[in-house]
Amino acid sequence: MTNEFTMIAIKKSIDVDPEEAAEKWITYILNRPDTRIQYLYLSSSPICLLKCDQPMTVIKLGMFVFSGTPEERSSWVKTTVPVKHLKTRSVFRDDTMKYAQSVLIPEYGDIDAKILSEWQANEITIEIWLSLGQIITYCTGIAESGRPIGFRCESWIEHPNMEWGTLDWLAMKVNARKTSWNGKKCFTIPLDDASELNVHGNLDNFSDRLIIEVNARGTAIDR
């Protein structure tokens, strides 16, 4: 075993399967008190994490695990503070993912809109197209749970749904006001006395970009 930073090598013969030895070593590294990781990338099912009792500080987390958390756990990774940046292709119930401060869902992701609406990130970027049903579910969930002013989710609306009346149809489905936001067609759901959820894009000009954000109440004006 060689430390690539110090180039110090340690050789010791042990009667352990290589995979088991690697798992023990990783578990030891991750399970030390006050462990801080700048970027943690997880793929497959990281069973060794289930053996870690000590929470760790993770700044950036790449979560490419496609199975939900085990029944006895609330998350795959125990953290001391919320992750600053999360990148994941799967959306499932996991407390560490739920409380990440910002989220990126890249192409070929799999989104459960109901679960995503429960996540507390203030900035979410979704690089795949959302169906109309997913948009309705997501906006309804956000309206029920609320978000602070400054919350923003950027996504795309699937190509077959870019006709002129899309936002008006969505407004009807979520019982929202038909509004205008900075010259763009929008629909608005009031959240409380001080804030509102605005959903807008430029769909009438054949753009598939969709913005979902929380602004101060009165930002959007009625059409």
Asked if residue 5 belongs to a domain, the reply is no
Counting residues of the chain whose pLDDT is more than 90, the rounded percentage is 57
Indicate the residue among 110, 143, 166 that finishes a domain. 110
Indicate the residue among 75, 110, 145 that finishes a domain. 110
Q: Which of the pair, 7 or 127, is modelled with greater confidence?
A: 127
Asked if residue 119 belongs to a domain, the reply is no
Say yes or no: 106 and 133 in one domain.
no
CB-side exposure of 219: number of CA atoms within 13 Å? Answer: 25
The per-residue pLDDT for range 81-137, each reduced to its tens digit, is: 999 999 999 999 999 999 999 999 998 878 999 999 999 999 999 999 999 999 999
Instruction: Decide: 49 and 77 in contact? Cβ < 8 Å.
Output: yes
- What is residue 205's predicted lDDT score, i.e. its pLDDT? 65
Predicted model pTM: 0.84
Say yes or no: 204 and 162 in one domain.
yes
Asked if residue 31 belongs to a domain, the reply is yes
Say yes or no: 27 and 75 in one domain.
yes
CA distance 187 to 68: 34
Domain span including residue 38: 17-110
Two tokens, residue 19: 């995979």
Say yes or no: 144 and 222 in one domain.
yes
CB atoms within 10 A of CB 177: 16
- What is residue 209's predicted lDDT score, i.e. its pLDDT? 86
> What pLDDT band is residue 206 in, cutting at 50, 70 and 90?
low
Asked if residue 71 belongs to a domain, the reply is yes
Best CA proximity match to 101, nearest among 128, 78, 125, 77: 125
Say yes or no: 183 and 103 in one domain.
no
Asked if residue 1 belongs to a domain, the reply is no
Tally the domains of the chain.
Answer: 2
The per-residue pLDDT for range 156-201, each reduced to its tens digit, is: 887 656 667 889 999 999 999 999 998 889 999 999 999 999 999 8
151, pLDDT greater than 60? yes
Indicate the residue among 52, 76, 110 that finishes a domain. 110
Say yes or no: 135 and 220 in one domain.
yes
The torsion angle over the Cα atoms of residues 112, 89, 46 and 121, rounded to 10 degrees, is: -70
Say yes or no: 102 and 184 in one domain.
no
Q: Which of the pair, 146 or 1, is modelled with greater confidence?
A: 146
> What pLDDT band is residue 3 in, cutting at 50, 70 and 90?
low
Two tokens, residue 22: 């690697």
CA 218 distance to own-chain centroid: 28
Asked if residue 168 belongs to a domain, the reply is yes
DSSP string, the chain: -B-TTT--B------S-HHHHHHHHHHHHHTSTT-EEEEEEEES--GGGGG--S-BEEEEEEEE--SPPPTT-S-SS-BSS--SEEEESB----HHHHT-SEEEE-TT-B--HHHHTT---SEEEEEEEEPHHHHHHHHHHHHHH---TT-EEEEEE-GGG-STTHHHHHHHHTT-EEEEETTEEEEEEE-SSSEEEEEEE-GGGT--EEEEEEEETTSSEE-
- What is residue 1's predicted lDDT score, i.e. its pLDDT? 60
Say yes or no: 167 and 219 in one domain.
yes
145, pLDDT greater than 80? yes
The per-residue pLDDT for range 11-59, each reduced to its tens digit, is: 665 666 777 777 777 788 888 888 899 999 988 777 777 778 889 999 9
